[in-house]
Structure 1
């Protein structure tokens, strides 16, 4: 979602009650965090690997240094929302698929912004967890090896399992993540193996003060 799209979204009730700040650089967000009391940071993704990596890094840093700030991710589609839900190491208040109809997007985002006291306890965040089992340690290990270019026989050797077992675990991971190719699995592996400092589109919200 572009900056223009986010601006239009937050011009509509009930989101129009919030003051929106747009950031495209990580350092700009850091400076703003030192000066402004934000209660929520929303990261809008665009189904790009590099941006997912940057989002992971941003949300992880927020969780470590600004744990009182609500953290929400807007995913470009259901597939990306599943990847974020399964693989992000830092806890999030919510993950929303922004490809849903506008009225649903408004309702879900509004509900999350009203719920600022709890992390990982709301229904919107756990929809993906309840409908898709989490990856097992073996499935995660297979994804990591795949990201480094290991073949199935090589992974079987590393994990001391037979090839059929590795293929079965790989298939299970694909089902859980909703992907049907190695490319989709490598997208997931990116989130497991990278925590780079980067830049991307971020938004921060404050409740306006009325005098």
Structure 2
């Protein structure tokens, strides 16, 4: 497996405030977690932060809208080329969308999470991928 960036910063790109709060609560629930969650409401806000903060993981919540999903996956493919050591995860609205994203992604993703999963499944898979 390729050498990854040391543990540290996790970026969450999420427009929905409630989903952002949920992810923050998830990270807060694990006091031994060695990662700090940084939440960005837009891709451009994340890009600006990347100039000064190294991220080991980027979690991108993709919209169910076809054009937004296509643009998000294209951005993640660009991120894979420019920052190959950064793990890339996607959050999808449901299981069907998660399978679609996994099959359509122009570059391999480290994981696709479904909001339709139980909290235990979602948290377990997210933390497993983040801590790899």
Q: What is the SS of the residue equivalent to 1:35?
A: coil
1:15–1:110 Cα contact (<8 Å) kept: no
Give 1:102's aligned residue.
119
Q: What is the SS of the residue equivalent to 1:13?
A: coil
Pairing 1:32-111 to 2, within 5 Å after superposition: 32-111=49-128
| Cα displacement (A) at 1:46 | 4.0
Q: What is the SS of the residue equivalent to 2:91?
A: strand
CA RMSD of aligned residues (A): 1.9
Q: Classify 1:110/1:15 alpha carbon distance in 2 versus 1 (closer, same or farther; 3 Å).
A: farther
Q: Which has the larger radius of gyration?
A: 1
Q: Classify 1:51/1:83 alpha carbon distance in 2 versus 1 (closer, same or farther; 3 Å).
A: same
1:42–1:73 Cα contact (<8 Å) kept: yes
- Structure 1 or 2: larger helix share? 1
Pairs aligned (count)? 115
Q: Classify 1:14/1:62 alpha carbon distance in 2 versus 1 (closer, same or farther; 3 Å).
A: farther
In the superposition, the TM-score normalised over structure 2's length comes to: 0.77
* Distance in 2 of aligned mates of 1:52 and 1:75: 10
- The runs of 4+ residues in structure 1 deviating greater than 4 Å are none
Per-residue Cα deviation, 1:162-185 (whole angstroms, up to 9, x for no partner): xxxxxxxxxxxxxxxxxxxxxxxx
Equivalent residue for 1:4, pick from 14, 21, 35: 21
In the superposition, the TM-score normalised over structure 1's length comes to: 0.50
1:15–1:106 Cα contact (<8 Å) kept: no
- Give unmatched runs, 5+ long, in structure 2: 1-15
| Cα displacement (A) at 1:48 | 2.6
Give the number of the structure with larger relative contact order, counting CA–CA contacts within 8 Å between residues 6 or more apart.
1
Equivalent residue for 1:28, pick from 45, 53, 57: 45
